[in-house]
Amino acid sequence: MAAKSLTQSQIVAKLAESSELPKKQVKSFLDDLAALAYKEAKNGFTVPGLGKLVLVQRKARMGRNPATGEQIKIPAKKVVKFRVAKAAKDAIAGAPAAKPAPAKAKKKK
């Protein structure tokens, strides 16, 4: 059974405890950070150590209606993606094993 993720109130409580600030002030800070991220996402918004919000343009493509199997055209659109920082990946998933460098083939003269 997987562990449940933290709720917003649990995150606020833990941050308030570790920073010795009132919960109200921590919640206000998190709300302000989210509002700033929404406003600046179109230009790219980086949270150091966590990752980056980026706006990506998806091309139009052909898809399939799962109910009928009929082909449909999916229009181009802009989507927001979150790119996780390398430091966060390493901290969560552990550092990947180093891959050996590929051997270079020697040219014959």
pLDDT tens-digit readout, 7-32: 999 999 999 999 999 999 999 999 99
**Which residues lie below 8 Å from residue 84, measured CB to CB, with a gap of 6+?**
50, 51
**Which residues lie below 8 Å from residue 60, measured CB to CB, with a gap of 6+?**
73, 74, 75, 76
Residues 69-86, mean pLDDT to the nearest whole number: 93
In this prediction, residue 78 has a pLDDT band, given cuts at 50, 70 and 90, of very high
- State the Cα–Cα distance between residues 7 and 18, nearest whole angstrom: 17
* Predicted pLDDT of residue 102: 61
- State the Cα–Cα distance between residues 103 and 59, nearest whole angstrom: 38
pTM here?
0.66
In this prediction, residue 41 has a pLDDT band, given cuts at 50, 70 and 90, of confident
* C-alpha dihedral sign at 17, 22, 23, 28: negative
* Predicted pLDDT of residue 95: 64
